[in-house]
Amino acid sequence: MDISDEMLNAFIDGELSSLEMSIVRDAIATNERVALRVEALAAINSQVHARLHQIDSISLSPNLENLRQQLEASARDEQTDNVVSFPWWHSSRLGGVWQSAAAASVAAVFVFVIGLGINSGSSVNALPEWAVINQALSTQPSGQIMTTDSGAAFEARLSFQNQAGEYCRQFYLKPVESTALQSIACRTGDDWVLRAAMPTGDQSNFQTASHDRALDQVIDSMIKGDVISPEQEKTVIQQDWKP
């Protein structure tokens, strides 16, 4: 069976149904022309990818950098406005019903974690670029958006201490080519360990409480006292998160 160029391209781009995918795979295995063509198309794909990513290593022009900084400042303001609407850091004043709901949500969020293939216990490499995230969690104040070398957007959203006295941080991560995640990591020894993660929509930056209720409730179940203020956080960062 001969296969069209359009179908081979759709195969490379993952746009075929599973039946069509297996038809193409069979053709690759049995038809040398198809195999060579797929090879050539995949190679050109990777070259185009590499070529367009070249610009990532070039500094932004002064005007664009200026615009980026303005966006960053406005984004911080947006975040501050929305953080006020998060109700959960007053959890110590909430009753038992809320705490029961929170316990149920812990399970829900960890289902997300399992669904993502993340081991919620030992999860050192659970998220992409974990070494970079680990470093950013140690050094980035909450509310500052950082772009990693690969183009992923990272932002620590807030810090708190859990019942065990460990420092924990909620953070947002949007890798370039995969789903955005809202996550919680806690400082154990000199490293951060992922405790929860859940996918969040690309359109849902700076979530309101309703969007991230499940994660908020996880924090409710973990937090001891109030969330750490920006001033306190600055000091804790300087002290390298030593409890």
The site for another protein (CB under 8 A) is made up of 4-6, 8-10, 13, 15, 40-41, 44-45, 47-56, 58, 60-61, 63-64, 67-68, 71-72, 74-75, 78-79, 145, 147, 151, 153, 174, 176-177, 202-203, 205-206
Structure tokens belonging to residue 11: 């195969």
**Shortest CB 3 distance to another protein, Å:** 12
Considering the complex, what minimum distance in angstroms separates the CB of residue 110 from another protein?
26
Tokens representing residue 178 in the block: 């995969």
- Of residues 128, 113, 118, 147, the one with CA closest to residue 215: 113
Q: Which is nearer to another protein, 143 or 187 (CB)?
A: 143
Q: Check the CA dihedral 215-221-222-228 and report its sign.
A: positive
Longest dimension (CA), the chain: 70
Give the C-alpha separation, 32 to 154, whole Å: 45
Q: How far is the CB of 147 from another protein (least distance, A)?
A: 6
The residue (of 212 and 220) whose beta carbon lies closer to another protein is: 212
Task: Kindly list the strands in the beta sheet with 191-200, ordered across the sheet, starting from the edge strand earlier in the chain.
Answer: 145-147, 153-161, 167-174, 180-188, 191-200
Nearer to another protein, 106 or 158 (CB): 158
Give the Cα separation of 218 and 98 in Å (integer): 11
Q: Which is nearer to another protein, 26 or 65 (CB)?
A: 65
Q: Rounded CA gap, 48 and 68, in Å?
A: 26
Alpha-carbon dihedral of residues 46, 51, 54, 55, nearest 10 degrees?
-120
CB of 235 to another protein, least distance (A): 26
Of residues 68 and 90, the one with the C-beta less far from another protein: 68
Q: How far is the CB of 39 from another protein (least distance, A)?
A: 11
User: 63 vs 239, which CB is nearer to another protein?
Assistant: 63
Output the CA angle 184-186-189, nearest 5 degrees. 160
Q: How far is the CB of 177 from another protein (least distance, A)?
A: 5
